[in-house]
Structure 1
Amino acid sequence: MSEERAERVWRGLRSLVLERHERRREVCDALGMSFIRVKALRSLAASPKTMRELAADLLIDAPYATLVVDDLVRRGLARREVHPEDRRSRIVRVTPEGTEAAARADSILSAPPPPLLSLPPEDLDTLDRIVARLLSG
Structure 2
Amino acid sequence: MNPGSDNASATRAWTEMVAFITGQDRLRALRLELDLGVGKAELLIKLARAPMTLREIAQAAEVDPSAATVAVDRLERRGLVRRQPHPEDKRRRLVHLTDAGLRAAEAARRILTDPPPALAALDRADIAALTRIFAALNAAPPAGSA
Q: Provide the TM-score with structure 2 as the length reference.
A: 0.79
Q: Which has the larger radius of gyration?
A: 2
Matches within 5 A, 1:72-91: 72-91=75-94
Q: Secondary structure at the match of 2:115?
A: coil
Indicate whether 1:112 and 2:136 are aligned.
no
Indicate whether 1:66 and 2:69 are aligned.
yes
Q: Secondary structure at the match of 2:89?
A: coil
My pick for the range that moved more, 115-124 or 50-59, is 115-124
The Cα offsets for residues 73-132 of structure 1, whole Å up to 9 and x where unpaired, read as 111110011111111111111111111110111112222123312323221121122334
Cα distance, 1:42–1:124 mapped onto 2, change above 3 Å: same
The answer to whether the 8 A contact 2:79-2:98 is kept is yes
Alignment partner, residue 143 of structure 2: none
Cα distance, 1:136–1:46 mapped onto 2, change above 3 Å: farther
Indicate whether 1:56 and 2:49 are aligned.
no
The answer to whether the 8 A contact 2:54-2:94 is kept is yes
The answer to whether the 8 A contact 1:28-1:38 is kept is no
Give, as a single letter, the amino acid of the residue that structure 1 aligns with 2:20.
L
Matches within 5 A, 1:1-137: 1-2=1-2, 4=7, 9-17=13-21, 19-135=22-138
Please tell me the root mean square deviation across aligned C-alpha atoms, in Å.
2.2
Give, as a single letter, the amino acid of the residue that structure 2 aligns with 1:63.
S
Unaligned runs of 5+ in 2: 141-146
Unaligned runs of 5+ in 1: none
